[in-house]
Homo-oligomer: A and B are copies of this chain.
Amino acid sequence: MDQRISRRIFLQGTGAAAFALGLASHASLAQGTPVASPVAGGAPLSLWNESPVRTALIDFVTAATTEGSPGYLDPADRIAVFDNDGTLWCEQPAYVQLVYAMEVVQVLFEQHPEWANEEPYKSALAGDIPGLLAQGDYATLTIMNLSYAGISPDEYIAMVADWLATAKHPTLDRLYTELIYSPMVELLGYLRDNGFQTWIVSGGGLEFIRAFSEPAYDIPLSQIVASTIETEYAVIEATPTLTRIDQVNFISNGPGKPVGISHVIGRQPVLAFGNSDGDYQMLQYTTAGDGPRMGLLLHHDDAEREFAYDRESIIGHLAKGLDDASANGWYIVSMKNDFAEVFAS
């Protein structure tokens, strides 16, 4: 079978109609619109409660944009980096990309009977998320990123967008794309309004995030540092074609985050916001050295409005960050106390 035909067959069932639906739904998300309006009088960060963290953020941005202030930052240096899962949107009870990948693995299993006895596929097929995560980043990314290897990045993005258009959270009963934290989206906009570049630096898959980052966060496709899989370029039946290959290329987690920042952004950020120990090195790198710098960790302590988890959780594990935050001068942001709302209503 030639490659072009096998690609077509592979896409059956998620063909033109589903494709168009996915893209239409994708476009219908509120492109660039803030999730909520600021309070009357135009106070910044209106979705945050009065708190030391909110004050510190406003002071940091105010100083950064006030020439002559010791906290002033040249516009080129106004680089802010944000983790995605658990920092910008909900990651419980499992990373959204993992939920998607677990579904895909079931579908692809028909073509890969050998997976029944081969890790990490075996755990994924059994729906055993703890068992999969226990095998480490590489195994997890193998499942998360390799779903639909063999198609192009654009095809993959369209299929993810298609899925996101209808996929709902198991307990919160809303679309995953509605489970983005509105105070964080407000913070992204506030930073951009003050000349900051806002980047996503995520352990998740680059092209999964590209399926929703523009409408969800108003962050362009090129301002994402994330894990990647190998990609090949070839002319297939006279059509220049990029194809995702069944091989992890880069793992943008833990110490991979500063490396990805260096390769893609090329400048040390001044503000980093994460929520798990996978963000530790990103905050460490960002807050090292002289000049105004700010590190923040979102602490999920709000079982009522979202979830409460930290040291004991496999997803979003946060222990070292909590232990060292004070010594490192990082802010612990309490979802319960600091967020006036969690999700836009």
Contacts and interface: CB of A to CB of B under 8 A. Distances in A.
Interface of A: 76, 153, 206, 210, 220-222, 224, 228, 231-235, 239-240, 242, 255-259, 262-267, 281, 284-285, 288
A231 B255 contact: no
A312 B243 CA distance: 33
Contacts of A242: 258-259, 262, 285
A221 B267 CA distance: 8
Given A232-B255, A233-B259, A264-B222, A240 B206 contact: no
Contacts of A265: 221-222
A99 B206 CA distance: 36
Nearest to A245: B259
Query: How many copies of the shown chain assemble into the complex?
Result: 2
A26 to B, nearest CB: 14
A262 B220 contact: no
Contact of A263 (B76, B228, B232, B281): B228
A233 B258 contact: yes
Nearest to A284: B240
A301 B68 CA distance: 52
19 contacts: A76-B220, A206-B266, A210-B266, A220-B266, A221-B265, A221-B267, A222-B267, A224-B266, A228-B263, A232-B255, A233-B256, A233-B257, A233-B258, A233-B285, A234-B255, A235-B284, A240-B258, A240-B288, A242-B262
The 6 closest A-B pairs by CB, nearest first: A221-B266, A233-B255, A233-B258, A240-B288, A240-B285, A231-B259
Contacts of A228: 263
A281 B220 contact: no
Contacts of A234: 255
B153 A231 contact: no
A231 B262 CA distance: 9
Nearest to A207: B266
A35 B266 CA distance: 25
A267 B231 CA distance: 14
Nearest to A213: B266
Contacts of A235: 284
A212 to B, nearest CB: 13
A266 B233 contact: no
A329 B257 CA distance: 41
A153 B234 CA distance: 32
Contact of A264 (B259, B264, B267, B285): B264
A263 B221 contact: no
Contacts of A262: 153, 231, 242
Nearest to A234: B255
